[in-house]
């Protein structure tokens, strides 16, 4: 592929955030967009994620982004001309103590005030949604039927193929090695395959965004957190049709339409070494959780385990917007929720960059909120 040494916009990162941003910018009429990816498209955190999609959040901004993303996901097959594997079995959130129940109830009231039809359900209803659910020790359940998941690979490739049709150039195996800044204004990037001059650069490097930011002298308080995950062999449907999730219980479990059950839990003491390593302790602990919650999973076989990196911020909300370096933008810090927010994240940043009013005012997601001490932590995270 011929090397383009100039572009109108350069995007760093070929995960879901990078490709969706490229697509929406191209759709808004931006010509000459180049996306660089250090490995292969969808080869980082996007391709390793649990791929859940939900609007049941604890902060107003996450709720607004979550429901707007769902609206887009529901139309995405038509928009991109390829199936993204959307499946809306809902998210069933499980509370195990009074404090958590209160937090989730407050979240539900906030969600309802923003038009999200989440509701509290009884154990009986929870068992209709998720047959075979044990969870006798739970104190409450919350459900939102429009939540669900999509295929992270197909969604990313669908955005990529649509972006390519609109003229976006994509270089794989091309790592960003430097961000060129002059007079406090971005000028382009250096890569392992050469320089690209561009008046606008967008950092969509996920867990590596902190490193790319530093190349321009910008310090992000982000960190990379390793999370483990596993998937079973495909089995008949109905084992866990919804996403079953608990923040205090520390799990998320869901059967994909394909039949495999995918599940994960939060890490314990993994170092920030950017290694996607796996441990036997994880599959053992996860298996214990599965058998306790869904006893009939005990005869199902685990096919594969892996791990991926959450690009964490101190409040578990993303960093979207321009930086102290002019025309150097960020769309990062999704804290494990980049896949589900990507459609709206790409769209609103593209609207902002092309001088339109974004569907959602995201000015509070400026990275300087951390140094100003203005951030409020999202409670609903595993």
Q: Which of 30, 150, 154, 349 contacts other proteins by CB under 8 A?
A: 154
Q: How many CA atoms lie within 13 A of 25 on its CB side?
A: 30
Nearest to 319 by CA among 282, 369, 270: 369
- Closest distance of CB 195 from other proteins, Å: 23
- Closest distance of CB 23 from other proteins, Å: 16
- Give all strands (DSSP E) within 235-294, no chain letters: 243-246, 251-255, 261-265
Determine the 3-state secondary structure of 46 from DSSP: helix
Residues 236-275 that bind other proteins (CB under 8 A): 258
297 binds other proteins (CB under 8 A): yes
Cα–Cα distance, 261 to 300 (Å, whole number): 9
- Closest distance of CB 234 from other proteins, Å: 8
Q: How many CA atoms lie within 13 A of 373 on its CB side?
A: 0
Which of 95-103, 107-115, 136-144, 299-307 is the region at the interface with other proteins (rule: CB under 8 A)? 299-307
Which of 5-13, 59-67, 185-193, 293-301 is the region at the interface with other proteins (rule: CB under 8 A)? 293-301
193 binds other proteins (CB under 8 A): no
Q: Cβ neighbours of residue 133 under 8 Å, at least 6 residues apart?
A: 126, 127, 244, 293, 294
> Closest CB to other proteins among 99 and 288?
288
139 binds other proteins (CB under 8 A): no
Cα–Cα distance, 59 to 240 (Å, whole number): 27
Q: Cβ neighbours of residue 287 under 8 Å, at least 6 residues apart?
A: 302
350 binds other proteins (CB under 8 A): no
> Closest CB to other proteins among 118 and 297?
297
Tokens 């930086």 belong to residue:
323
- Closest distance of CB 259 from other proteins, Å: 10
> Closest CB to other proteins among 130 and 312?
130
161 binds other proteins (CB under 8 A): yes
43 binds other proteins (CB under 8 A): yes
Q: Cβ neighbours of residue 334 under 8 Å, at least 6 residues apart?
A: 17, 206, 311, 318, 341, 345
Cα–Cα distance, 68 to 129 (Å, whole number): 24
175 binds other proteins (CB under 8 A): no
Q: Cβ neighbours of residue 132 under 8 Å, at least 6 residues apart?
A: 239, 294, 295, 296
Q: How many residues bind other proteins (CB under 8 A)?
A: 31
Q: State residue 238 phi and psi, 5-degree precision.
A: 100, 0
> Closest CB to other proteins among 48 and 347?
48
Is 347:72 a contact under the CB 8 Å cutoff?
A: yes
- Closest distance of CB 161 from other proteins, Å: 8
Residues 304-323 that bind other proteins (CB under 8 A): 304-306
42 binds other proteins (CB under 8 A): yes
153 binds other proteins (CB under 8 A): yes
Q: Which of 40, 184, 192, 268 contacts other proteins by CB under 8 A?
A: 40
| β 200-203/223-232 pair status | unpaired
> Closest CB to other proteins among 177 and 278?
278
Which of 191-199, 200-208, 264-272, 279-287 is the region at the interface with other proteins (rule: CB under 8 A)? 279-287
Cα–Cα distance, 88 to 148 (Å, whole number): 4
- Closest distance of CB 261 from other proteins, Å: 9
Q: Which of 182, 298, 357, 372 contacts other proteins by CB under 8 A?
A: 298
Contacts with other proteins, residue ranges (CB under 8 A): 40-43, 47, 153-154, 157, 161, 232-234, 258, 278, 280, 283-284, 287-288, 290-291, 297-306
């Amino acid at each position: 592929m011929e090397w383009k040494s100039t572009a109108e916009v350069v995007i760093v990162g070929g995960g879901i955030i990078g490709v969706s941003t490229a697509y929406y910018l191209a759709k808004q009429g931006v010509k000459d967009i180049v996306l660089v990816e250090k490995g292969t498209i969808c080869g980082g955190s996007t391709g390793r994620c649990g791929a859940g999609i939900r609007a049941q959040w604890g902060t107003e901004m996450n709720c607004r982004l979550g429901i707007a993303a769902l609206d887009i996901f529901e139309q995405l097959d038509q928009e991109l001309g390829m199936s993204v594997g959307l499946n809306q079995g809902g998210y069933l959130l499980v509370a195990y103590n009074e404090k958590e129940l209160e937090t989730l109830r407050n979240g539900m009231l906030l969600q309802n005030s923003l038009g999200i039809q989440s509701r509290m359900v009884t154990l009986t209803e929870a068992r209709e949604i998720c047959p075979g659910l044990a969870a006798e020790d739970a104190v409450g359940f919350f459900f939102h039927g429009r939540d669900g998941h999509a295929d992270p690979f197909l969604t990313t490739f669908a955005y990529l193929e649509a972006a390519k049709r609109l003229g976006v150039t994509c270089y794989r195996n091309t790592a960003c090695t430097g961000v060129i800044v002059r007079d406090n204004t971005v000028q382009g990037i250096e890569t392992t395959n050469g320089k690209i001059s561009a008046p606008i650069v967008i950092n969509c490097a996920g867990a590596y965004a902190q490193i790319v930011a530093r190349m321009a002298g910008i310090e992000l308080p982000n960190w990379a957190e390793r999370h483990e995950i596993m998937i079973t062999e495909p089995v008949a449907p109905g084992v866990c049709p919804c996403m079953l999730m608990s923040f205090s219980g520390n799990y998320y479990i869901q059967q994909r339409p394909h039949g495999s059950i995918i599940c994960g839990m939060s890490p314990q003491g993994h170092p920030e070494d950017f290694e996607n390593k796996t441990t036997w302790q994880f599959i053992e602990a996860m298996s214990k959780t599965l058998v306790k919650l869904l006893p009939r999973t005990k005869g199902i076989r685990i096919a594969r385990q892996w791990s991926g990196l959450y690009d964490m911020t101190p409040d578990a909300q993303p960093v979207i917007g321009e930086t102290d370096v002019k025309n150097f933008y960020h769309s990062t810090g999704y804290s494990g929720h980049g896949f589900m927010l990507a459609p709206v994240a790409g769209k609103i940043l593209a609207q902002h960059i092309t001088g339109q009013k974004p569907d959602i005012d995201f000015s509070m997601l400026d990275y300087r909120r951390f140094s100003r001490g203005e951030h409020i932590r999202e409670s609903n995270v595993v």
